């Protein structure tokens, strides 16, 4: 099966990751790229300030960038990826949905809307059924699915693996890479020899999105998980890879071996972009580290280390590649789920 896809916001950091990940994909064939007005009409290789470690695929570099409107797209597009800034996505995504397009979006707008699936396919694929309610509520012919924030995605598979222990609360402190802010989000003078102990909006996203992802689908909406989530988000001078210190309080006692086994054995999916082993657990207490471990599983694996028992549960460190697993790769995985479930 060949699915023709387009990227909304193709020249930015996440848009470039989409292009990298779509190269040689067995299902998706990239046929359209859109961007802001300043890029429209240019060849992609002239419009994008390419920062990915692999070259621009030749056939993509020669593509002409179009406007981000339904009218500008080729008529044969089956599915869209959105990496638009949330303020822009909130305005234009509905236009594409009303026109009948299916969108797998990394943009943060509407993630907590009651009829929008916020999915990580290895954790809550059943939430995709919210699309039925979405179409009733909004009158869209298309469909919209969101992936969570990059910092939320890093932590969530580990919490899903521990769910049987009845999680009461989670405290998390993040050490987030500069690529999470986009190319112009953090200047070198701000971040070199420094750490920034606040990232606007990140804490609220982690605290709310986590509860939706682990929530229960009722048939018409998602009842949020009862756990308390408290987050502190910090920017550090690494290029890629979000490292997080997680403290979980559980109703049931848990040993370090039990926690490690639960995470190591947590199953992924059969989807193409899901790694064979979703979570890798290190015995070495000084792992994971961003430079050494962010690319594991082609950037789609979660790494865990430093598991220790506490008086009320366990604590550990986890890591994921923020622009692959935490952004473009997450949307790609959701698109594969949409195809698998028959929405495309």
Residues 6+ apart with CB under 8 A from 233: 151, 173, 174, 176, 198, 199, 202, 203, 206
Helix (H, G, I), strand (E, B) or coil at 80: strand
Tell me the mean pLDDT in the region 265-271: 91
Q: Are residues 142 and 20 in the same domain?
A: yes
Extended beta strands in 218-264, E state: 222-223, 228-235, 242-250
Q: Which residues are catalytic?
A: 150, 242
Q: How far is 301 from 285, CA to CA, in rounded Å?
A: 18
Question: Which pLDDT score, from 0 to 100, does residue 68 have?
Answer: 97
Q: pLDDT digit string (tens) for 182-191?
A: 877 889 899 9
Question: Which pLDDT score, from 0 to 100, does residue 185 have?
Answer: 80
Tell me the mean pLDDT in the region 178-198: 90
Q: Are residues 158 and 82 in the same domain?
A: no
Q: Do residues 173 and 245 touch, judged by C-beta distance below 8 A?
A: yes
Checking if the pLDDT of 10 tops 90, the result is yes
Q: Are residues 115 and 250 in the same domain?
A: no
Question: What is the H or E stretch that residue 93 is in?
Answer: helix 86-98
Q: Are residues 70 and 56 in the same domain?
A: yes
DSSP 180-228: GG-TTSS-HHHHTT--BS--TTHHHHHHHHHHHHTSEE-SSSEEPPS-E
CATH classification of the domain holding 295 = 3.30.360.10
Among 259, 78, 74, 94, residue whose Cα is nearest residue 165: 259
Q: Are residues 80 and 175 in the same domain?
A: no
Q: Are residues 306 and 254 in the same domain?
A: yes
**pLDDT category of residue 267 using cuts at 50, 70 and 90:** confident
Q: Are residues 250 and 194 in the same domain?
A: yes
- The parent domain of residue 15 ranges over 3-148+327-340
CATH classification of the domain holding 332 = 3.40.50.720
Q: Are residues 172 and 311 in the same domain?
A: yes
Question: Which pLDDT score, from 0 to 100, does residue 312 have?
Answer: 94
The residue with tokens 């220790």 is 308
Q: Are residues 194 and 283 in the same domain?
A: yes
Phi-psi label, residue 240: left if phi above 0, alpha if psi -120 to 50, beta otherwise: beta
**pLDDT category of residue 75 using cuts at 50, 70 and 90:** confident
The rounded mean pLDDT for the chain is 96
Q: Are residues 168 and 313 in the same domain?
A: yes
Per the structure, the count of domains in the chain is 2
Q: Are residues 171 and 309 in the same domain?
A: yes
Checking if the pLDDT of 178 tops 90, the result is yes
Q: Are residues 163 and 124 in the same domain?
A: no
Q: pLDDT digit string (tens) for 36-52?
A: 999 999 999 999 999 88
Q: Do residues 93 and 82 touch, judged by C-beta distance below 8 A?
A: yes
Among 66, 128, 76, residue whose Cα is nearest residue 100: 76
Question: Which pLDDT score, from 0 to 100, does residue 40 have?
Answer: 96
Helix (H, G, I), strand (E, B) or coil at 269: coil
């Amino acid at each position: 099966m060949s699915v023709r896809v387009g990227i909304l916001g193709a020249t930015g950091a996440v848009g470039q990751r989409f292009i990298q990940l779509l190269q040689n994909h067995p299902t998706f064939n990239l046929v359209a790229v859109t961007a802001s007005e300043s890029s429209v009409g240019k060849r992609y290789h002239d419009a994008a300030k390419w920062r990915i470690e692999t070259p621009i695929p030749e056939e993509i570099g020669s593509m002409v960038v179009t406007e981000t409107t339904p009218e500008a797209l080729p008529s044969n597009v089956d599915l869209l990826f959105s990496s638009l800034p949330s303020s822009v996505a909130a305005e234009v995504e509905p236009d594409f949905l009303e026109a009948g397009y299916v969108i797998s979006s990394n943009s943060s707008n509407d993630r907590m809307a009651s009829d929008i699936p916020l999915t990580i396919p290895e954790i809550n694929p059943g939430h995709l059924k919210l699309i039925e309610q979405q179409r009733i509520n909004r009158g869209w012919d298309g469909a919209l699915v969101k992936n969570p924030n990059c910092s939320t995605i890093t932590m969530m598979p580990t919490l899903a693996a521990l769910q049987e222990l009845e999680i009461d609360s989670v405290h998390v402190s993040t050490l987030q890479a500069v690529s999470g802010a986009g190319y112009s989000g953090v200047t070198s003078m701000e971040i070199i020899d420094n750490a920034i102990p606040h990232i606007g909006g990140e804490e609220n996203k982690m605290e709310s999105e986590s509860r939706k992802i682990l929530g229960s689908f009722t048939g018409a909406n998602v009842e949020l998980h009862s756990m308390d989530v408290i987050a502190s988000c910090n920017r550090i001078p690494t290029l890629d890879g979000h490292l997080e210190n997680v403290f979980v309080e559980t109703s049931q006692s848990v040993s370090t071996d039990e926690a490690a086994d639960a995470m190591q054995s947590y199953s992924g999916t059969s989807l193409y972009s899901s790694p064979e082993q979703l979570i890798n657990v290190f015995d070495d207490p000084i792992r994971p580290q961003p430079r050494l471990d962010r690319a594991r599983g082609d950037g789609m694996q979660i790494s865990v280390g430093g598991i220790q028992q506490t008086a009320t549960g366990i604590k550990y460190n986890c890591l994921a590649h923020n622009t692959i697993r935490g952004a473009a790769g997450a949307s790609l995985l959701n698109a594969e789920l949409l195809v698998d479930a028959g929405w495309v």
